Amino acid sequence: MGPVYPQASCGSAKIDRSRRSLVLRPVQITYDTILLDLGGVLIDVDYQASARAFRDLGHPDFERLYSKAQQDHLFDGFETGALTPAQFRDRIRELLGGSLTDNAIDSCWNAMLGSIPAERIELVVRLKERFQVLLLSNTNAIHVPAFEAIIGRENGIADFKALFHGAYYSCEIGLRKPDAPAFRHVLERHGANATRTLFIDDSIQHVLGAREAGLHAEHLDLAKEDVIGLLSRSVFRTA
């Protein structure tokens, strides 16, 4: 029996049809599931913005603690839910010194979060016409309400997870990329076969982890293209 596709609604998503028109075309590789990353793939992220925000408050050492490719164990633990937001904030204060308030820490930490262009929302909607579309994001309990608020405000989507057939945050499932159990958890929940799943992520270490777990995986090089450009080479043609 094939995968069960639960009905999902994108709510009142604001889709501007005047943007790039996406037309489905035959797919050479027989994928039936598309697994997407969130940060960088769908939502724009500036990983240096948080470091700049902390630096503006007189704490230049944050950049040393955190980077996109190599994180301090503090951030890994926060992404898997091993630390609560309160514990995370206390540890930031301990590492950076000073008397940063909770609100100041949250504001600096969330500074990296950008927007989701409307055409990427349309992309997800169009992908769902043919594929089971899933989301797997390494994220944390401070970022989740922040980016969901951005998406609600800017894209008119009250329930972001409902945009997908299934959406999973590392801080909620206790598993994170690039570890194979994270990929297996998501695919097993939806009856998806790894060999028929295409995973897209802008972090090469996550792409390599997905391949080791048996998925087809494409690295999205944001310096060259966005996710629509990548998929237009295999799933869509633009018209």
d(CA 97, CA 124): 43
Share of the chain above pLDDT 90, in %: 74
In this structure, what token pair is assigned to residue 217? 């995986």
Q: What is the pTM of this model?
A: 0.84
pLDDT for 18: 47
Mean pLDDT of the chain: 87
Chosen CATH of 22-44+116-238 out of 2.160.20.10, 1.10.274.30, 3.40.50.1000, 3.30.390.50: 3.40.50.1000
Share of the chain above pLDDT 70, in %: 84
Class of domain 47-110: mainly alpha
pLDDT for 114: 98
Q: Greater confidence, 68 or 44?
A: 44
In the Cβ-directed half-sphere of 137, how many Cα atoms lie within 13 Å? 23
Kindly tell me if the per-residue pLDDT of 7 is higher than 50: no
Kindly tell me if the per-residue pLDDT of 29 is higher than 80: no
Q: What would the pLDDT profile of 178-198 be if each residue is shown by its tens digit? A: 999 999 999 999 999 999 999
Kindly tell me if the per-residue pLDDT of 9 is higher than 60: no
Kindly tell me if the per-residue pLDDT of 63 is higher than 60: yes
Kindly tell me if the per-residue pLDDT of 1 is higher than 60: no
Length of the chain: 239
Kindly tell me if the per-residue pLDDT of 10 is higher than 50: no
pLDDT for 61: 82
Q: What are the sequence ranges of the domains in the chain?
A: 22-44+116-238, 47-110
pLDDT for 108: 97
In this structure, what token pair is assigned to residue 21? 């028109």
Give the model's confidence band at 17: pLDDT under 50 very low, under 70 low, under 90 confident, else very high: very low
d(CA 165, CA 4): 9
d(CA 164, CA 40): 17
What average pLDDT does the segment 11-26 reach? 50
Continuous H helices in 80-199:
85-96, 102-110, 118-127, 143-155, 170-173, 180-189
CB within 8 Å of 102: residues ≥ 6 apart:
89
Give the model's confidence band at 219: pLDDT under 50 very low, under 70 low, under 90 confident, else very high: very high
Kindly tell me if the per-residue pLDDT of 227 is higher than 50: yes
CB within 8 Å of 129: residues ≥ 6 apart:
24
Give the model's confidence band at 15: pLDDT under 50 very low, under 70 low, under 90 confident, else very high: very low
Give the model's confidence band at 126: pLDDT under 50 very low, under 70 low, under 90 confident, else very high: very high
Q: What would the pLDDT profile of 139-150 be if each residue is shown by its tens digit? A: 999 999 999 999
Measured on CA atoms in the order 86, 92, 98, 100, is the torsion positive or negative? negative
d(CA 33, CA 198): 6
Give the model's confidence band at 235: pLDDT under 50 very low, under 70 low, under 90 confident, else very high: confident
d(CA 52, CA 55): 5
In this structure, what token pair is assigned to residue 193? 């076969």
